[in-house]
Structure 1
Amino acid sequence: MTLTLTSTAFDAGGPIPPIYTCEGNDISPPLAWSGAPAETKSYALIVDDPDAPDPAAPQRTWVHWVVYNLGPEVSALEQAGRHSPSGSLDGLNDWKRAGYGGPCPPIGRHRYFFKLYALDTMLPDLKQPTKQQLEKAMEKHVLAKAELIGTYHKA
């Protein structure tokens, strides 16, 4: 089986509804996954935008959400608001805060990558790591990865 990540809020490659953005309620969309390896001990999720600030001339990847130590029994995140499920740990997004920060592109249609990692361990408390710090901690522990891409353009 292959690890897959889906959302009932938007199709792969499709537009993310405004409710999940800075123009709406800025809450995280529902996500679900399946097909994790049997050895999975935890999951990590990173949501980022490689098109910042302008898709025609991207200069950086903007991080919207970093969450890890989602338990192996977890196979979905409900439309959740800004903070992560009980038992999981938040990292810092590029607004320098924990939790979800929705799409809010200054110009153009951006792509948002929802990346789920199945890990062979629970990670130690990294004290609100950045995306880069979490990726470093996950090295040698990733069993599988799934990706879901959505897009958004401000009205």
Structure 2
Amino acid sequence: MRKIAMVALSLAAGFLVTTPAVAAPAPLTLTSTAYKNNGNIPDKYSCAFDHKAGNDISPPLAWTGGDVPAQSYALVFIDTANGGKHWAAWDIPATATGLPEGLKKGYDVVEPDLKGAHQRAMGNASVNEQFFGPCPRSKHKYEFTLYALKVKNLPGINKNSKVADVEAAAKKAASGQAKLVGFSTAKP
């Protein structure tokens, strides 16, 4: 009986050894050349650069889609310390692999590789169509969240939508997400 058990274990072990390994799916990633994940966001991308809140220079962002299917992408930038929804970009084409530094002001993103993309920020009309960077005056944690979306265009989102609306719609339509975390103590 013992011999039979040992043969059975040997056969089972042989099957385990010869079974090919399945590779884990490649994740969605989000990075910036301006700062590392969990690093400090340079003042260049905050209110400290021009000494007023809003109309800040957006940092360069890059992503890899990995094995996460996407019809388009959305990005949301929030202050996790107070829940402030600073900025969002959506309807970013699925072929895009990043955003350049310094997106221009305007609801419609004018970069050639980002045709059809839109942006919206918190604040009044003079600052709500351009990146709205950190301005916490004390140390706050900020997150860029990249959403890979199952839709080409976010439903129900338009020029009058708030950043929170974009975030909620992106969460509902997401097939995956990645985060880039940074810290800031910027003051105007």
TM range (shorter): 0.7 to 0.9
- Aligned residues with identical type, % of pairs: 34
Partner of 1:77: 99
Question: Residue 9 of structure 1 corresponds to which residue in structure 2?
Answer: 34
Q: Which has more helix, going by share of residues?
A: 2
Are the aligned partners of 2:68 and 2:176 in contact in 1 as well (CA < 8 Å)?
no
The structural deviation recorded for 1:140 is 3.9
What 5-or-longer segments of structure 2 have no aligned partner? Answer: 1-25, 51-55
> Which residue is 1:90 aligned to?
119
Greater per-residue strand proportion = 1
TM-score, structure 2 as length reference: 0.70
8 Å Cα contact 2:76-2:89 kept in structure 1: yes
Residue of structure 1 in register with 2:19 after alignment? none
- Whether 2:86 is the aligned partner of 1:64: answer yes
Deviation, 1:132, is 2.7
Check conservation: 1:82, 1:101, Cα contact below 8 A.
no
SS of structure 2 residue aligned to 1:23 = helix
* Residue number among 67, 78, 89 corresponding to 1:48 in the alignment: 78
CA distance in 2, matches of 1:95, 1:50: 17
Q: 1:115·1:146 contact (CA, 8 Å) conserved in 2?
A: yes
Give the deviation of 1:17 after TM superposition.
0.8
State how 1:68-147 maps to structure 2 within 5 Å.
Answer: 68-83=90-105, 84=109, 85=111, 86-91=115-120, 93-96=121-124, 97-106=128-137, 108-122=138-152, 123-124=154-155, 126-128=157-159, 129-147=161-179
TM-score by length of 1: 0.83
Count of aligned residue pairs for this structure pair? 145
Out of 20, 29, 49, the position equivalent to 2:45 is 20
1:29 is paired with a residue whose SS is coil
Distance (whole Å) between structure 2 residues aligned to residue 132 and residue 32 of structure 1? 23
Displacement, 1:62?
1.0
In the aligned structure 2, how far is the partner of 1:137 from the partner of 1:154?
A: 30
Cα 1:31/1:22, change in 2 over 3 Å: same
Structure 1: gaps of 5 or more residues: 52-59
Change in Cα spacing, 1:151 to 1:38, as seen in structure 2 (3 Å) is closer
